[in-house]
């Protein structure tokens, strides 16, 4: 055996007894089968691991400590020998009973006993130690020696406590945030925080652990969700998106989902951060609806001023022009010519009055000044009253009006609003009817509603014009067959009033083949 020159006389501590301070390292060249060398390497390893040993001979009641035990207990080996009660006195008061129980168990157990406990030093410092105790027996099963290895694990214990403390801090943080956090692996949830439990409609974590993530995605979104997750795993898609999700009770909610690939317990997992944005989506929808209403109000105001500036002003200019011409050149006209001018003035005046009435009614409607007061009434009686106002217009174009409504048919509606609707629809039918045309008014009961159809055989409309009806934003002003003017306001009023009855209105038309205006009003009490 060969070895290098030593710096001191001893490099390793003896098994028991008092030793001198030594250097902990030695370079040794030897046959690996040399038991002495193996023992010395083991001792050096024990020194580096802060391990010490003790030995108790029960026959002679002799206790031996290595120097490390004295150092661990911070006891001067020159003043005090190895003594169990000296040792037990340093053990933390709360752990003494536990350590003493192990000592009493040694003569009876045939297995090593491992225990961790605390030492309390004179200055109040705490040390943590881990001890492994063993017993050797003779052939008759009588204990012949006790021995143990003690390791100072204070540093590891402090590190463990710090880690546990941080882990508890993180847990408190994760448990307290209102955002749902879940971890899933192989499409199974393996962790979820309290907020996530609440978001998905559960009461305990156990209700969700092991369940498939896809179970909580709306059926209409499952395929899309799978595609997104595949793209995210490849780094080809943003990791935050919105999705429709389902709670355990089947209720649907809007979720904002953020996904993060992570390593959890050595395996690749997905971490989901889920926020219930249902209320936010509702608020966004309300904001959007309010914006639409604001746009409608702005369009209403613009339309109102446009009608005043153009549609109402133009017929007055025409009336004034005819009156001025008739006044200045009255004597140069014969009776027939004078009658023609008076007829034109009367027609323009009637059209203007009708426009003015619609404008006033519409303005009051937009301001909420018109009360909705439905009553049950005979539809035929109301139609007779309305159509009587159009006799001159019908006669002028030679139009036949057929009212095909049963005298027994009743409708539950606001009289003034329904009167306005019928007036405008009949007026439009006359305006766009050709000479000698036919206008028909039909009505029938359909389950719990009444359906009214006003049809004509006039000019009709193409698809482009149909798409512009009932809209303030799109200007619709098509002259009638006798060049009658219009503002499109009457149809907007019709739609407004029908919707106040919770009804619907639609148009069917074909260019050159006439039009049908159909509205339905629920028969409610």
The tens digit of pLDDT for each residue in 51-76 reads 788 999 888 888 899 888 898 898 88
Q: Regarding predicted confidence, which is higher, 68 or 23?
A: 68
Classify residue 445: in a domain, yes or no: yes
Residues 214 and 239 reside in one and the same domain: yes
How far apart CA 492 and CA 472 sit, in angstroms, is 8
Listed residues 276, 310, 343: the one ending a domain: 276
Classify residue 214: in a domain, yes or no: yes
Rounded mean pLDDT of 78-105?
Answer: 89
Rounded mean pLDDT of 374-387?
Answer: 91
Of the candidates 355, 331, 330, 357, the one whose C-alpha atom is nearest the C-alpha of residue 342 is 330
pTM of the model: 0.43
Q: Regarding predicted confidence, which is higher, 326 or 410?
A: 410
Q: Give the domain CATH number at 434.
A: 3.30.565.10
Rounded mean pLDDT of 83-92?
Answer: 90
Q: 112 Cβ partners below 8 Å, 6+ apart?
A: 132, 133, 134
Residues 315 and 425 reside in one and the same domain: yes
Classify residue 34: in a domain, yes or no: no
pLDDT tens column, 510-522: 998 999 999 999 9
Residues 182 and 141 reside in one and the same domain: no
Report the run of H or E that residue 131 belongs to, with start and end. Answer: strand 126-137
Residue with tokens 């604001």: 294
* Domain tally, the chain: 3
Classify residue 33: in a domain, yes or no: no
Q: How high is the pLDDT of residue 303?
A: 65
How far apart CA 17 and CA 188 sit, in angstroms, is 60
- Bridge partners (DSSP) of residue 217 are 245
Q: How high is the pLDDT of residue 337?
A: 87
Listed residues 276, 301, 330: the one ending a domain: 276
Residues 71 and 123 reside in one and the same domain: yes
Percent of the chain residues past pLDDT 90, beyond the cut: 30
How far apart CA 16 and CA 439 sit, in angstroms, is 124
Q: Which of 62-66, 148-152, 257-261, 428-432 has the lowest mean pLDDT?
A: 257-261
pLDDT-derived band at 247, boundaries 50, 70, 90: very high
CA distances from 33 to 39, 400, 446 (A): 11, 127, 107
Of the candidates 422, 419, 396, the one whose C-alpha atom is nearest the C-alpha of residue 483 is 396
Classify residue 283: in a domain, yes or no: no
Classify residue 296: in a domain, yes or no: yes
Of the candidates 387, 486, 482, 385, the one whose C-alpha atom is nearest the C-alpha of residue 439 is 387
Classify residue 163: in a domain, yes or no: no
Residues 263 and 379 reside in one and the same domain: no
How far is residue 73 CA from its own chain's centroid? 61
Two tokens, residue 210: 């092991």
Residues 239 and 386 reside in one and the same domain: no
Residues 336 and 422 reside in one and the same domain: yes
Percent of the chain residues past pLDDT 70, beyond the cut: 82
How far apart CA 97 and CA 171 sit, in angstroms, is 34
Residues 264 and 236 reside in one and the same domain: yes
Residue with tokens 């009686």: 381
Which residues form the domain of 85?
49-158
pLDDT at 42 over 60: no
Classify residue 237: in a domain, yes or no: yes
Rounded mean pLDDT of 8-16?
Answer: 34
Residues 352 and 210 reside in one and the same domain: no
pLDDT-derived band at 41, boundaries 50, 70, 90: very low
pLDDT-derived band at 378, boundaries 50, 70, 90: very high
pLDDT tens column, 414-457: 888 898 899 889 988 998 999 999 999 999 998 889 999 999 99
CB 494 within 8 A of CB 424: yes
pLDDT tens column, 273-314: 899 999 988 988 899 888 888 887 777 677 666 666 555 666
pLDDT-derived band at 487, boundaries 50, 70, 90: low
Report the run of H or E that residue 292 belongs to, with start and end. Answer: helix 278-306
Crossing angle of helices 335-366 and 313-328, rounded to 10°? 160
Residues 479 and 518 reside in one and the same domain: yes
Length of the chain: 525
pLDDT-derived band at 16, boundaries 50, 70, 90: very low
Residues 240 and 364 reside in one and the same domain: no
How far apart CA 435 and CA 457 sit, in angstroms, is 10
pLDDT-derived band at 227, boundaries 50, 70, 90: confident
Listed residues 158, 188, 223: the one ending a domain: 158
Burial of residue 22 (number of CB atoms within 10 Å: 0-12, 13-18, 19+): middle
Q: Give the domain CATH number at 69.
A: 3.30.450.20
Residues 248 and 368 reside in one and the same domain: no
Write the DSSP assignment of 360-425 as a string of letters: HHHHHHHTT-S---EEEEEHHHHHHHHHGGGHHHHHHHT-EEEEE--TT-EEEEEHHHHHHHHHHH
Q: How high is the pLDDT of residue 264?
A: 76
Q: How high is the pLDDT of residue 505?
A: 95
How far apart CA 101 and CA 85 sit, in angstroms, is 14
């Amino acid at each position: 055996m060969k070895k290098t020159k030593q710096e001191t006389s001893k490099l390793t501590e003896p098994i028991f007894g008092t030793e001198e301070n030594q250097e902990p390292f030695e370079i040794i060249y030897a046959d690996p089968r040399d038991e002495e060398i193996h023992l010395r390497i083991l001792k050096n390893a024990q020194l580096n691991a802060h391990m010490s040993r003790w030995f108790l001979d029960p026959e002679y009641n002799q206790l031996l400590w290595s120097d490390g035990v004295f150092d661990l207990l911070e006891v001067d080996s020159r003043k005090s020998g190895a003594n169990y009660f000296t040792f037990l006195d340093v053990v933390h008061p709360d752990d003494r009973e536990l350590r003493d129980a192990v000592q009493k168990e040694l003569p009876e157990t045939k297995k090593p006993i491992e225990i961790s406990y605390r030492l309390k030093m004179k200055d109040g410092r705490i040390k943590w130690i881990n001890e492994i105790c063993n017993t050797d027996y003779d052939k008759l099963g009588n204990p012949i020696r006790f021995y143990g290895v003690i390791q100072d694990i204070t540093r590891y214990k402090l590190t463990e406590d710090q880690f546990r403390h941080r882990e508890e801090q993180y847990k408190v943080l994760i448990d307290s945030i209102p955002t749902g956090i879940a971890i899933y692996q192989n499409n199974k949830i393996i962790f979820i925080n309290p907020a996530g439990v609440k978001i998905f409609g559960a009461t305990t974590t156990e209700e969700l652990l092991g369940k498939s993530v896809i179970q909580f995605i709306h059926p209409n979104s499952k395929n899309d969700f799978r595609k997104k997750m595949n793209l995210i795993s490849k780094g080809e898609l943003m990791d935050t998106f919105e999705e429709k999700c389902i709670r355990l009770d089947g209720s649907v909610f809007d979720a904002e989902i953020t996904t993060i690939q992570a390593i959890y317990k050595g395996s690749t997992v997905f971490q989901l951060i889920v926020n219930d944005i249902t209320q936010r989506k509702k608020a966004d929808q309300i904001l959007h609806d309010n914006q639409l209403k604001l746009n409608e109000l702005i369009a209403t105001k613009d339309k109102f001023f446009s009608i005043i500036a153009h549609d109402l002003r133009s017929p007055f200019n025409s009336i004034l022009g005819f009156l001025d011409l008739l006044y200045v050149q009255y004597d140069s006209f014969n009776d027939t010519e004078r009658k023609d001018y008076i007829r034109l003035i009367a027609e323009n005046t009637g059209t203007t009055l009708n426009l003015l009435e619609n404008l006033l009614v519409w303005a009051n409607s937009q301001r909420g000044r018109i009360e909705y007061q439905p009553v049950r009434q005979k539809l035929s009686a109301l139609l007779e009253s309305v159509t009587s106002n159009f006799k001159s217009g019908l006669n002028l174009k030679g139009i036949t009006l057929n009212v095909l409504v049963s005298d027994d048919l009743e409708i539950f509606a606001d009289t003034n609003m329904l009167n306005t609707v019928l007036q405008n629809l009949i007026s439009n039918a006359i305006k766009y009817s050709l000479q000698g045309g036919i206008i028909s008014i039909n009505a029938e009961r359909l389950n719990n509603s009444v359906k009214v159809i006003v049809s004509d055989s006039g000019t009709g409309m193409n698809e482009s014009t149909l798409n512009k009806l009932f809209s303030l934003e799109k200007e619709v002003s098509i002259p009638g067959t006798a060049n009658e003017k219009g503002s499109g306001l009457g149809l907007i009023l019709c739609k407004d009033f029908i919707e106040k009855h919770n009804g619907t209105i639609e148009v069917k038309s074909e260019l050159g083949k006439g039009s049908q205006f159909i509205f339905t009003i629920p028969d409610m009490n």
